[in-house]
Amino acid sequence: MSAVRAATAGVRPRAGTGSAYRLTDRIGLGLAWLFGLLFCAIAVAIVIYFLIEGIRFLRPSVLFTNPVPGVSESQTGGFLDPMLGTFIVGAMAMAIAVPLGVAIAVWLSEFGRPTALARVAESAIEMLAGEPAVVLALFGLTLFELHALGFLSQVSNGVVLGQSFFAAAALLSLVGLPMVVANTREGLQAIPSHVREASYALGKTKIATTRRVLLPAARPSVITGTMLGLGRVIGDTAIVLLLLGGTLNFQSANSVPVLGLLRGTGDTLTGYIYYNAPTGDGNQPDKAYAAAFVLMLMVLALNLGVDLVVSRSRKAVRWN
């Protein structure tokens, strides 16, 4: 129940009908309704459009075959490798972003001294959230072209390629990081201080309190942040194009089983869609639709997960 409606309940029979509403107020309220419904309509249109087009073009075969360069929809195969690439990149990026993000959030919320560093860190994370992914990708390219980091990608004739799963995941983790930090921090700050004090009173140290009381209590926030961050990571295209190579299939750096693959180049669903859109080099819109459908399903699943966690944590224990 909203503040104003709670206050007016019983005073006025129905919001928006009293004679106190002037014409401008009515127009404003009408606009609010209009924009709200329009926004829902746009979302529904996008989702339904991609579901319909996706179902039209999605065949089981495209999920289990690899992309082949070709000129017609029947020749170009499916997108098994890009799909696996999305999973690999997402897992690797979040494996970096979650521990790092939680650590930063704990420091910002529980320690935060010296204050100057806390201020700088806070605004730096904020800046990172607003940084265009394409600029991060350019930075990643210079970073991973350094000879010291050559072991993370391929080296030919003394030149470091700088494109690999390692490079892409490292930079994509920066895309997911702000989400993890912001949500974890919000979760930690929502825990009242008497909970901490109770733990200190039992003789626990600050870090033990954080590990055993605060972080478990903030777990829904950490999960929410992780899922939102993962959504950003698997939806990113610029970093994939520049740092993963966008080579459609996996191209291992050498024959070492896992390491060779991760040092090699590859692609993800977003890169595949970009390549197969009419503006890309592949231009196979049907394949792009099918891949967009799969990507859309992943995004929808993540959103559903967030909704579940949020609604569940609302019902969870209250502190006071």
Partner 1 sequence: MDEDDFLEPGQGMSQDQRAELGLGALVFVVVGLLLAMLAFVVHEAWPSFAHNGIAWFGPGGSLDQQIQAIINSGQLKEAPVYTFHAWALIWSTILITVGAVAIAFPASLFIAVFIVEFAPPWLRGTLEPVVRLLASVPSVIYGLAGVLVIVPFIGNHLITQSQKASVTPIIQLSGASLLAAVLILTVMIAPIMIAVFVDGLRAVPRGWLEGSLALGVNQWRTFWKVGVRTVRPVLVAGTVLATARAMGEAIMLSMVSGSVPFAPNPVDGLIFFFEPSQPLAATIIHNTEALNSPPMKATLYAIGAVLLFSSAMLSLIGWTAKQPMRRYGVIA
Site for partner 1 in 268-297 (CB under 8 A): 270, 273-274, 277-279, 285, 288-289, 292, 295-296
The CA radius of gyration of the chain, in Å to the nearest whole number, is: 24
By CB under 8 A, tell whether 91 contacts partner 1: no
Q: Closest CB to partner 1 among 165 and 289?
A: 289
| 27-56 binders of partner 1 (CB under 8 A) | 28-29, 31-36, 39-40, 42-43, 46-47, 49-50
Q: Which stretch binds partner 1 (CB under 8 A): 72-80, 109-117, 148-156, 215-223?
A: 109-117
Give the 3-state secondary structure of residue 67. Answer: strand
81-100 burial by CB neighbour count: b if 16+ within 10 A, else e? Answer: bbbbbbebbbebbbebbbeb
β-strand partners of 160: 155
The values of phi and psi at residue 185, to 5°, are -65, -45
The token pair that represents 69 in the structure block: 């360069």
Distance CA 172, CA 139 (A): 12
Nearer Cβ to partner 1 (25/256): 25
- Nearer to partner 1 among residue 20 and residue 148 (C-beta): 20
- CB closer to partner 1 out of 25 and 197: 25
Query: Rounded to the nearest whole angstrom, what is the least distance from the CB of residue 273 to partner 1 in the complex?
Result: 5
- Rounded Cα gap, residues 217 and 129, in angstroms: 26
User: Which range, of 73-81, 150-158, 200-208, 258-266, touches partner 1 by CB under 8 A?
Assistant: 200-208
C-alpha–C-alpha distance, residues 229 and 95, integer Å: 11
The minimum distance between CB 261 and partner 1, in angstroms, equals 23
Question: How far is 159 from 172, CA to CA, in rounded Å?
Answer: 24
State the DSSP code for 164: S
The only residue of 242, 253, 290, 309 in contact with partner 1, by rule CB under 8 A: 242
Contact 205, 126 (CB under 8 A): no
Of the two residues 104 and 253, which places its CB atom closer to partner 1 in the complex?
104
Nearer to partner 1, 22 or 318 (CB): 22
